[in-house]
A and B are shown apart, each in its own frame.
Chain A
Amino acid sequence: MLPDSKIPDGPMADKWENHKFDIKLVNPANKRKFTILVVGSGLAGASAAATLGELGYNVEVFTFHDSPRRAHSIAAQGGINAAKNYRNDGDSIHRLFYDTVKGGDFRSREANVHRLAEVSVDIIDQMAAQGVPFAREYGGLLDNRSFGGAQVSRTFYARGQTGQQLLLGAYQQMMRQVNEGKVKLHTQMEMLELVLKANDDGVEEAKGIVCRNLTTGEVTSHAGHAVVLATGGYGNVYYLSTNAMACNVTAAWRAHRKGAYFANPCYTQIHPTCIPASDEFQSKLTLMSESLRNDGRIWVPRDPDEARRADQIPDADRYYYLEEKYPAFGNLVPRDVASRNAKTVVDQGLGVGPLKNGVYLDFAEAITRDGRDTIEEKYGNLFQMYERITGEDPYTVPMRIYPAIHYTMGGLWVDYNLMTTIPGCYATGEANFSDHGANRLGASALMQGLADGYFVLPYTIGDYLAPKLGEALLSTDDEAFIAAEAEVKGRTQRFLSIGGTRSPEYFHRELGKLVWEYIGMARDKNGLEKAITEIRALRDEFWADLRVLGDGDTLNSSLEKAGRVADFFELGELMARDALDREESCGGHFRVESQTPEGEAKRDDENFTNVSAWQWHDENTPPTKHVEQLTFDEVIPSQRSYK
């Protein structure tokens, strides 16, 4: 059974205010009696750690990076949404709420999304006060751009490095608390177990974590009154993604195996404008801003055997597939539609480039129409980045693009307080599932990470802690910690002792191919069933033929990778099960069996207006699904159309 989602009563606009009044508080003088462990130092983790430290809690932060500033939030380019209505163009909290619920294809929780829209305005104030150098107009006021098809201009940005600047802001605020002694920082520490202990009522609660120091191999226990997982998304299950190399699901997955339900794992988002892989050894994909689609025309040659250079192919032999199929929106159809159509033409053998794995994004017409200077002013840095990576000049040769995974909407199930199904264990930012439904809008990821960390969790965590006043930390000599440490050490030893022939990298790459093929842009029953079988077979091979050299008491990145890949195997299987079970198309989840005659995603609101939260049993027992019904009181579900 799923616990109560704790959505407050009352009108939508009052829920959060009422809730803040209704939940229990910890008296300021008592906060120092509590220790909170925060895992992850990205936007969600660093902002939570800083704020909890300011409030007076003892905070310990754990990151596997060498510095908290390396967290992957840093790579976000575009911007952060906020319902400030500085443009006077009709934006409001209600409109941001409405856009986010609709963008999520009616699969998110209305109350959570409304709260997100409410606190979005505070985030901008907070970050500006911290010195984030947001873009300004000549009058000195903040500049905005429009983003992701929104009809208002509500996106704040700092050049093309908004994520970097926001992360550094949160990191600096956290380092101030480190300086004051309120936050203790543990770098190079990877959380490998969540430790539970039953309370007097027999309910298991989160009491701490076990980590491995990545440079010394030392395995240590850390006790806390609550544990916050701010550990990001799981896009790297696809091997090739726009995520950083170290992004992984391990912390969330360890919690899942201990009883935290995993919600909607099949909701993954694909970005249509990435640079295609150039060879088998390519390690990651680079995203280029979607704004390129404003001026570039997308096409492939009509003839699969086309041998001419792109600029010598006459219009008649070019297939402008988006413009032909979607005359109204053309090249500006939403991310998922653009992505699926690219896959369709590449699958038909019409792809371009040496590996025939991309489609053209052509600026020739825009350059002729507006002049090279105008295009350079708009996209100069992107063109430069493209040229650096591919060695081709996009002013003269059309860009080649292909979709790639870059965000995961699914994650650990949390209630309105951001607590998982394990009491005392919280999940924030991309690691949880709650705010984006089946599809995330552009410039909303940064907003959610900071909303959770600055303005939600610091209030809601008190509700859990208040009744625990006076409760001692669980001793790290307790059998629960000792058992968890033994489990971590045993697992490390297991990886080192298999002595097979293949590297963790090899298995990750092979797993990624399966996940991309069957649980990628389009999913069908056959493929998903095959995915489960093939992922399991590859998993067995992994445990039999893995080769991890070296030992466990020094820096050993193959060993780190082996642990992460092992968890990706289990996650990949769960994604397939979830996608198989959800017999509808919604947002980023496209089931081939559920589409309109025009090939658009077709939701099944009657059967699937809900959240699937999966409960782990063991490696060989299929998980149990729990369902949270979603209700839409404010935004009435409607079907999208981009014709």
Chain B
Amino acid sequence: MSGKTLNLTLSVWRQPGPDARGAFMTYPANGIPEDASFLEMLDIVNEGLIEDGELPIEFPHDCREGICGTCGVMINGRAHGQEKGTATCQLHMRKFADGDTIVIEPWRATAFPVVRDLVVDRSPLDKIIEAGGFISAPTGTAPDANETPIPKEVADSAMDAAACIGCGACVAACPNSAAQLFTSAKVWHLNSLPQGQSERYRRAQNMVETMEQFFGSCTNHGECTEACPKEIPQDFIAYLNRDYMKSLVANRKLAGQR
């Protein structure tokens, strides 16, 4: 808590709509309290723009606690900015210096077309979940929860994967715009649990094949884990690849038995 303020220059990507041409625009951001969050800095700039009769910058945000996954912009070329394990909303201005120029862009990926300014459409991520990111357990059919013990280590590892907030930073940071980290997190979460075994290979195949309709291929750069606000480890991708490879055999065998 310092009470100090910063004077900054913003270079922001403005694009009126999905089909319109965009451009970088420069805005001064003066008198920004160091204790403000990055998004509050944008709030302040927007209030000023509205006062001057200019359209405010549209940016994605909601919970501002780093859990909903709505926010996310490229800050000086890095998804969610330079702080490790931090979503854009949890980044605070004290991490910047007076006089800095900050370049702000939307997520960069063909699969995430720009809606307006810094807001992109991430619906392909939902398509991947829809393809198999669930365990089929209709309401009312469940046995007592303690009838299926799960070793603590297994539950903890599933939780490490399940911590993904679906923000899409992994895709934005990847030179190939691949969504392997996102997909592998969900596949590992469900495929590692006893409840997830019945659909294990069907899940792996369906999710990977849906992913490939939208996203690029993974070449193990590791930029995804580096950018991930939840620091989802890259080795989940290896598990995904293993289950996908096995699924091609397993699903074929299953098809033969039908």
Q: Is the CB of B43 within 8 A of A505?
A: yes
Q: Is the CB of A142 within 8 A of B158?
A: no
Answer yes or no: B143 CB below 8 A from chain A CBs: yes
* Segment among A173-181, A291-299, A337-345, A511-519 that sits at the interface with chain B: A173-181
Answer yes or no: A70 CB below 8 A from chain B CBs: yes
* A139 to B146 alpha-carbon distance, docked (Å): 11
Answer yes or no: B90 CB below 8 A from chain A CBs: yes
Q: Is the CB of A391 within 8 A of B40?
A: no
A554: min CB distance to chain B, Å: 6
Answer yes or no: A374 CB below 8 A from chain B CBs: no
Find chain A residues with CB under 8 A from B3 CB: 354
Q: Is the CB of A141 within 8 A of B149?
A: yes
Answer yes or no: A534 CB below 8 A from chain B CBs: no
Q: Is the CB of A179 within 8 A of B146?
A: no
Answer yes or no: B245 CB below 8 A from chain A CBs: no
- A384, closest chain B residue (CB): B85
Q: Is the interface of B mostly helix, strand, loop or mixed?
A: loop
Find chain B residues with CB under 8 A from A391 CB: 1-2, 34-35, 92, 94
A160: min CB distance to chain B, Å: 10
* Segment among B50-58, B73-81, B171-179, B212-220 that sits at the interface with chain A: B50-58
Q: Is the CB of B137 within 8 A of A130?
A: yes
* A501 to B43 alpha-carbon distance, docked (Å): 17
A278: min CB distance to chain B, Å: 4
Q: Is the CB of A130 within 8 A of B135?
A: yes
Q: Is the CB of B193 within 8 A of A283?
A: no
Q: Is the CB of A70 within 8 A of B70?
A: yes
Report how many A-B pairs have Cβ atoms within 8 Å: 225
Within 8 Å by CB of B134, from A75, A173, A503, lies A173
Q: Is the CB of B133 within 8 A of A129?
A: no
Answer yes or no: A479 CB below 8 A from chain B CBs: no
* A390 to B92 alpha-carbon distance, docked (Å): 9
* A171 to B125 alpha-carbon distance, docked (Å): 13
Answer yes or no: B257 CB below 8 A from chain A CBs: no
Find chain A residues with CB under 8 A from B53 CB: 549
* Segment among B96-104, B116-124, B234-242, B246-254 that sits at the interface with chain A: B116-124
Find chain B residues with CB under 8 A from A458 CB: 139
Answer yes or no: A309 CB below 8 A from chain B CBs: no
* A506 to B56 alpha-carbon distance, docked (Å): 14
Q: Is the CB of A175 within 8 A of B151?
A: no
- Given A131-B190, A279-B33, check contact A140 B39 (CB 8 Å): no
**Ordered nearest first, which 4 A-B pairs have the shortest CB separation?**
A140-B149, A129-B142, A172-B134, A128-B145
Give B residues with C-beta under 8 Å from A. Answer: 1-3, 16-17, 33-37, 39-40, 43-44, 46-47, 50-51, 53-56, 58, 60-65, 67-70, 86, 90, 92, 94, 115-116, 119, 121-123, 125-126, 129-131, 133-146, 148-152, 155-156, 158-159, 162-163, 165-166, 189-190, 193, 195-196
A-B CB contact pairs (8 Å), 16 listed: A69-B166, A129-B142, A131-B158, A131-B196, A133-B156, A136-B149, A136-B151, A159-B163, A164-B67, A164-B163, A168-B162, A245-B63, A389-B92, A505-B46, A506-B47, A558-B50
